[in-house]
Amino acid sequence: MKFKTKKLFFLIPIIAGILIFVLLVKLKGKPAGGKSDEQATFVEVFKVPQLLVIPKISGFGTVQPGRVWKAYPEVSGKIIWISDRLDIGEFFKKGQKLLQVDDSVYKLKIIQQKAEIKKIEANLLELSAKEKNYKTTFSLQRRALILSLKEQKRQRSLAQRKVVSESSLEKQQITTLVQQNNLQKIQSDLDLIPSNMKYLQAQLEAAKALLVQAQIDLENTIIEAPFNCRIAKVGVEISQYVQRGQEMLEADSTDTAEVVAQLDTGRLSILALNKNVKPGQINLSTGKYIAIPKRLGLTALIKYSPNGKIFEWNASCERLESVDPDTRTVGIAAVVYKPYEKRNANRPPLVKGMYCEVEIYGQKQPDCIVIPRSAIHDGLVYKVNAENRLEITRVETKYKMLEFAVINKGLKKGDVIVSSDLVPAIDGMLLDTTVNTALEKKIEAVATANGVEK
């Protein structure tokens, strides 16, 4: 009896607990509206704009002068004069004298050739006078020969009649032969006149050519700046003997400077896109679009950043280099005119050797749907509907730049998309949104090339 009483006391608390649990379940109130609570996920969102896009791609390169001149003497001789300012880093204007080679030898050559020309001209005059004399003598000798032949005929007639002796006829025949020989000799001299004349004319032309060469050599003893330039290298000094073809100095043009930036060919074609040109339609490897920078109105901005400071130059895209088949990159030359001009006192000149970034800007592309590139997940975008719920939407991308993408299909102006990380992303999930205004301003700035002089 005592054992049963203890067992009953043990079961009483368990039964009481069960009864309390059942009462609590029955008495629990239902939630308002008849639905359970749902936790909203916090995300940052981006309102899709429609923008006038100016695409941009960047590359790097080293500043080079537009033209480089290396001075090689075209004559040999001793350096007799050098400009006091001829030193590395000095500036010279076009036509300014830099140095001079000894010109005495070439002055003597000019004197000699002028004398030779006068000598040949005198020989030509003499030959012309001889020709005139030969013609006169030939005429006289021919008349004399005619008379001698008549006399010979008369003497033969008289000899046949025994009026004159045979010796008289023979003398007349000898006289006639001598006159014929003289006439033949004069004719031979006349025949040689044209060839002698041509020979002297050829000598005269050669002498005149040598005179011109001597005059050119004399001019080449003076070395002048061929364009506005800055001296980059000096390899001669006063009294030094220089040989023809020996490098004396090097100078860089100060009229233009350029940076050839290497760019991906696929991304470069994006710069030319408009309603008439689609991605992939520009084949840079064929050379057909070798004039693409000017034809498509590309512009550039050169940036130099020493010690964190940024200096900028607006540039013109003027030349397209050949495509590198290994790297599939193409060089595009960004040219700055008057790189030493001090438009900005706080900006250094754009000089050879600076390592710069080149931003290439393409054609204006109106009415583009632009979103952050990071908002695309394998072709999908997380769109927020009017009920703040997630709609996973597939989009078609026209092209992607470094920070943004241009959308062809799937989104329109005013749509709201998730711009922050969302894991997991479940279609229909409730979202708690806040607009990332900083991102919206950034995407608008980079897509429209805000602040760049166009």
Task: Look at residue 155 in the predicted model and tell me its pLDDT.
Answer: 74
53: phi then psi, degrees, rounded to nearest 5 = -90, 135
187: phi then psi, degrees, rounded to nearest 5 = -65, -40
Task: Look at residue 21 in the predicted model and tell me its pLDDT.
Answer: 55
**Which of the two residues, 280 and 422, has the higher pLDDT score?**
422
Task: Look at residue 109 in the predicted model and tell me its pLDDT.
Answer: 95
Torsion sign across C-alpha atoms 134, 139, 144, 145:
positive
Average pLDDT over residues 364-390: 94
**Which of the two residues, 264 and 240, has the higher pLDDT score?**
240
Mean pLDDT for the chain overall: 84
Rounded to whole angstroms, the Cα distance separating 150 from 158 reads 12
pLDDT tens per residue, range 43-62: 999 999 999 999 988 889 99
Task: Look at residue 379 in the predicted model and tell me its pLDDT.
Answer: 94
For residue 103, give both structure tokens: 């010109």
**Which of the two residues, 200 and 296, has the higher pLDDT score?**
200
Rounded to whole angstroms, the Cα distance separating 207 from 111 reads 11
Closest CA to 422 of 21, 129, 44: 44
Answer yes or no: are the C-beta atoms of 121 and 184 closer than 8 Å: no
CATH number of 74-99+221-252: 2.40.50.100
Task: Look at residue 133 in the predicted model and tell me its pLDDT.
Answer: 83
pLDDT band at residue 18, thresholds of 50, 70 and 90? Answer: low
Answer yes or no: are the C-beta atoms of 68 and 233 closer than 8 Å: no
Span of 28-32, 74-78, 261-265, 383-387 with lowest mean pLDDT? 28-32
SS (HEC) of the chain: CHHHHHHHHHHHHHHHHHHHHHHHHHHCCCCHHHCCCCCCEEEEEEECCEEEECCEEEEEEEEEECCEEEECCCCCEEEEEECCCCCCCCEECCCCEEEEECCHHHHHHHHHHHHHHHHHHHHHHHHHHHHHHHHHHHHHHHHHHHHHHHHHHHHHHHHHCCCCCHHHHHHHHHHHHHHHHHHHHHHHHHHHHHHHHHHHHHHHHHHHHHHHHHHHHHHHCEEECCCCEEEEEECCCCCCEECCCCCCEEEEECCEEEEEEEEEHHHHHHCCCECCECCCCCCHHHCCCCCHHHHCCCEEEEEECHHHCCEEEEEEEEEEEEEECCCCEEEEEEEEECCCCCCCCCCCCCCCCCEEEEEEECCCEEEEEEEEHHHEECCEEEEECCCCEEEEEECEEEEECCCEEEEEECCCCCCEEECCCCCCCCCCCEEEEEECHHHHHHHHHHHCCCCCCC
410: how many CB neighbours lie within 10 A of its CB?
17
pLDDT band at residue 77, thresholds of 50, 70 and 90? Answer: very high
Task: Look at residue 377 in the predicted model and tell me its pLDDT.
Answer: 94
Residue 372 has pLDDT above 90, yes or no: yes
Domain range summary for the chain, segments of one domain joined by +? 41-51+367-447, 56-64+255-361, 74-99+221-252, 105-219
Residue 103 has pLDDT above 90, yes or no: yes
pLDDT band at residue 223, thresholds of 50, 70 and 90? Answer: very high
312: how many CB neighbours lie within 10 A of its CB?
17
- Look at the domain 41-51+367-447 and name its fold: 2.40.420
pLDDT band at residue 294, thresholds of 50, 70 and 90? Answer: low
pLDDT band at residue 246, thresholds of 50, 70 and 90? Answer: very high
**Which of the two residues, 174 and 80, has the higher pLDDT score?**
80
Task: Look at residue 3 in the predicted model and tell me its pLDDT.
Answer: 43
pLDDT band at residue 291, thresholds of 50, 70 and 90? Answer: low
CA 420 to chain CA mean position, Å: 44
> Beta strand pairing status for 390-394 and 380-384?
antiparallel
Average pLDDT over residues 280-302: 64
Residue type, 327: T
pLDDT tens per residue, range 296-326: 778 899 999 988 889 999 999 888 887 878 8
Domain at 56-64+255-361, CATH homologous superfamily = Efflux pump adaptor protein, beta barrel domain (2.40.30.170)
Average pLDDT over residues 119-127: 92
Residue 434 has pLDDT above 50, yes or no: yes
Residue 267 has pLDDT above 80, yes or no: no
Q: What is the largest CA-CA distance in the chain?
A: 216
Average pLDDT over residues 6-33: 53
Residue 4 has pLDDT above 60, yes or no: no
**Burial status of residue 80 (CB atoms within 10 A of its CB: 0-12, 13-18, 19 or more):** middle
Residue 453 has pLDDT above 50, yes or no: no
pLDDT band at residue 16, thresholds of 50, 70 and 90? Answer: low
**Which of the two residues, 76 and 30, has the higher pLDDT score?**
76
Rounded to whole angstroms, the Cα distance separating 352 from 61 reads 11
Average pLDDT over residues 395-406: 92
Span of 34-38, 122-126, 352-356, 361-365 with lowest mean pLDDT? 34-38
Task: Look at residue 189 in the predicted model and tell me its pLDDT.
Answer: 81
pLDDT band at residue 373, thresholds of 50, 70 and 90? Answer: very high
Residue 454 has pLDDT above 70, yes or no: no
Task: Look at residue 163 in the predicted model and tell me its pLDDT.
Answer: 72
Q: How far is CA 297 from CA 115, 293, 294, 317, 347, in A?
A: 61, 6, 5, 8, 27
pLDDT tens per residue, range 342-369: 766 678 889 999 999 999 998 888 999 9
